[in-house]
Amino acid sequence: MSADRSGVLPVDKPEGPTSHDVVALARRALGTRRIGHTGTLDPFASGLLLLCVGRATRLAEYLVGLPKTYVATVRLGTVTDTADPTGEVIGRSEGWRDLDEETILAAFAGQLGRIRQLPPAFSAKRVRGERAYDRARRGETVELAPVEVEISRLDVLRIELPDIDFEVECSSGTYVRAIGRDVGEALGVGGHLTRLRRMKIGQHDVDAAVPVAKLDDPDAVRAAWLEPLAAVAHLPRLEVDGEALGRLRHGGAIAVHGEAPPPRAPVAIVHRGALAAIGEVDRGRVRPRKVFHDA
């Protein structure tokens, strides 16, 4: 694969390394420094990372906000300071032994919809310019404000107490660790995640990703590789001819024929089957935001 090629590489991260570690491995394997990811996974978690390569790093903002799907396991009765297995145990309860299925399902149902969620103290949220987890690791009290998130689907897959497997589809910015923590609190016994795996980001599925162990395999990378247009397939698409593309490349606007996307909505501008630019709708016309000159 050419070192100057641009696109998005879906990668299946194993448990253990950080997301930054995976980026470093990809940089060495692909022979380029210009790689960024579109949302971190905790070291204990596994699953889908979308790596933007080359000029496709400019597409990251259109991918980072996509909804996510995870499978996870919460262990009731044990509370850790990180809400995951990497933290110190700060509370225990045997109350999970008295729980029934109906009560458990009701606690999960209480997490559905648009809710106010308190991020974990050990999170990447910034507090006065510093990551919350850095302050928490120094033993400081971290005060974070609840944020609005949307949990559109939350299915309990298996109940084998004290462990419960579940699958969640949620908005970007949702902490699945916080779901496990809050379900445990709602049940009065506490809890923490023991397993977390990201299955999907938007329409992108981990089943089509390249395992980290195969980043050095050109065939495996090629099979997983997404051209820029495929990476932003969720965006409305506008086909243009050479004349319109020339106008966009010089900062001009073009008319939208037919039903226009919502104002300020990003639009994938396509020329000869490739992503030529990302535009933005403004009063019935599309103006260029990012132009890819090699399209």
| Cβ neighbours around 241 below 10 Å, total | 10
**DSSP classification of residue 38:** S
| Cβ neighbours around 184 below 10 Å, total | 28
Match 């609840």 to its residue by tokens: 146
Under 8 Å between Cβ of 23 and 29: no
Burial of 212 (C-beta count, 10 Å sphere; 0-12/13-18/19+): buried
Under 8 Å between Cβ of 35 and 79: no
| Cα–Cα distance for residue pair 151/178, rounded to 1 Å | 12
Given 42, 134, 182, 294, the catalytic residue: 42
Q: Is 100 helix (H, G, I), strand (E, B) or coil?
A: coil
Structure tokens at 66: 């996509």
Whether 163 is catalytic is no
CA angle 16, 18, 23 (to 5 degrees): 125
| Cα–Cα distance for residue pair 24/93, rounded to 1 Å | 41
Burial of 196 (C-beta count, 10 Å sphere; 0-12/13-18/19+): buried
**DSSP classification of residue 226:** B
Q: How far is CA 241 from CA 13, 237, 244, 245, 266, in A?
A: 40, 13, 5, 6, 19
Catalytic residue set: 42
